[in-house]
Structure 1
Amino acid sequence: MAITDKIYVKNHRQLASQLETSFPKSAFSGATLDILFTGDGLAKLDDASRDRALDFAEDFLDCDCQSNPHCGCPQRKFIAYLLELRAEGLGPDAIVDVMGDDYMLYAYPGDILSFLDNGVRTLEAAEQLAEVDERKEMAEKIRRKKRELSG
């Protein structure tokens, strides 16, 4: 299961009440993206919620794909966002706090930790493959990224 499947809308019940409809808690669910970002969904939200939803749309839903937002770009951008937060030295708890402040999203810190751990393990495998292939520059680049991710 991808990390983006484990990212949830904070204050889900309150937002569902404001929108006068139900939608999945998962932030990257197709139905959630459709309800929040098509029609007059945003107009029904209070100012603070609308601002966070617009920030989310600007940062993750802005692509030229014909099938946007169901193209995978939002998920890839969000994963890059999580990795950037980790590169800044934030741990799982702090990452959850920041994404809550930035976009009214939440996740369980354990899920974020698992995502980061899987990333380190993937980089370790890539580093070993680069070394076997005698691609020393690539191995060093991967090693640096692994250090960033593991802190």
Structure 2
Amino acid sequence: MAITDKIYLKNHRQIASQLDTSVPKGAFKGATLDLVFTGDGLAELDESTRDRLLEFAEDFLDCDCQDNPYCGHPERKFVVYLLELRAQGLGPDAIVDVMGDDYMLYAYSGDVLSFLDSAVRTLEAVESLAEVEGDGETARLAREAKRELTG
């Protein structure tokens, strides 16, 4: 299961109540993306919630694909966001806190830790395969990325 399947709206019940409609918990679920992407009903949300959802849309849903927001780019951008937070030295608990502050999103720290561990293992595999193939540049890049994630 992808990490983006484990990212949730922090106050989804409050949002559902304000919109007087059902809203899924998952931030990257189709109905949630529709709500944020199309902007329908956002005017009915309190200012703080609306501002954070709009920031989420600007940061992750902004792409020119015909299938936007179902093109996969929002999820990829969010994964990059998580990896950048880790590269800044934040641990899983701090990453969850920042997500909440930035976008009113939450995840379980264990899920974030598992994602980060998987990213490191993937980079180790890329490094090993690149070395076997004699691609020193790719091996170096994978090693540097792994170092950023592991501190």
Match of 1:36, SS state, is helix
Q: Which runs of 5+ in 2 are unaligned?
A: none
| Runs of 4 or more consecutive aligned structure 1 residues displaced over 3 Å after TM superposition | none
Counting aligned pairs with the same residue, the percent is 75
TM-superposed deviation, 1:33: 1.1
In 1, Cα distance between equivalents of 2:23 and 2:36: 9
Superposition deviation, residue 54 in structure 1:
0.6
Return the letter of the residue paired with 1:55: E
In structure 2, the residue matched to 1:93 is 93
Deviations 1:44-63 (A, max 9, x none): 11000000001000000000
Residue pairs, 1:1-151, within 5 angstroms? 1-38=1-38, 40-151=40-151
TM-superposed deviation, 1:39: 5.1
Whether the 8 Å contact between 2:36 and 2:54 is mirrored in structure 1 is no
Instruction: Letter of the 2:87 partner, please give it.
Output: A
Which structure 1 segments of 5+ residues have no match?
none
Aligned length: 151
TM-score by length of 1: 0.97
Normalising by the residue count of structure 2, what TM-score does the alignment of the two structures yield?
Answer: 0.97
Shift of 1:122: 0.4
Q: Kindly provide the amino acid, as one letter, of the partner of residue 114 in structure 1.
A: S
